[in-house]
Chain A
């Protein structure tokens, strides 16, 4: 079955880079996603990557995908206090890419 794992917590200083890691199990996943959740709020789509890509960059965000190891990472450059939130990675369990299995989330704390 599908299972997505993330480390629970990451603390960085403002201005540093943050790297949030994720491992997944379903090698047939077509899409892999990163979502951000602030306290009491819904999920905000940050970025996604197709399974046939190795890397995707979007402004301060860089996603790396290692299909062999089923490892996904999200790098946030120049991390700001407003980036403090819970970050979820998710893999799609259907070809359309819109049925998702989520990890448990990584809480990012950015210290000034």
Chain B
């Protein structure tokens, strides 16, 4: 059984650019959630996908968008990057109900 994997591990972008982050869920899990963790803070919920549909969203603007694929892997897209988007982006997978398991994260730096 493989765990949650994310790519890339690190990324540097400039303000105004767009970025795509990827996540492969743990085997057997059909729900993927994304979180943003700014330096020194706890993670904040961005959104969740279940069976390729957005299933819930936190307090993030529409320039944060996502996709889930039939194999339950997922992408997080951020348009028009801002300096405050610099953070560790965490993906977590779970069954429809229950505990989540987190990937190692993608560290994004926006200059």
By a beta-carbon cutoff of 8 Å, the part of chain A in contact with chain B is 4, 31, 33, 35, 41-45, 48, 88, 90, 93-105
Could you name 30 residue pairs across A and B whose Cβ atoms are closer than 8 Å?
A: A31-B98, A31-B99, A33-B99, A41-B104, A42-B4, A42-B103, A42-B104, A43-B92, A45-B99, A45-B101, A88-B42, A88-B43, A90-B42, A94-B56, A96-B94, A97-B98, A98-B33, A98-B48, A98-B94, A98-B97, A98-B98, A98-B99, A99-B48, A99-B56, A101-B45, A102-B35, A102-B43, A103-B42, A105-B41, A105-B42
Contact A100 B101 (CB under 8 A): no
Complex: A104 Cα to B44 Cα, angstroms: 10
Tell me the nearest residue of chain A to B95, going by C-beta: A98
Candidates A33, A35, A41, A98; contact of B31 at CB < 8 Å: A98
**Contacts between the two chains (Cβ within 8 Å), count:** 65
Candidates B43, B96, B101, B104; contact of A96 at CB < 8 Å: B96
New contact pairs (16) apart from A41-B105, A90-B42, CB-CB < 8 Å: A44-B102, A45-B101, A48-B99, A88-B42, A93-B45, A95-B97, A96-B31, A97-B98, A98-B33, A98-B98, A100-B33, A100-B45, A102-B35, A103-B42, A104-B41, A105-B42
Which residues on the A side are within 8 Å of B104 (C-beta)?
41-42
Contact A99 B45 (CB under 8 A): yes
Residues 55-111 of B at the A interface (beta carbon under 8 Å): 56, 90, 92, 94, 96-105
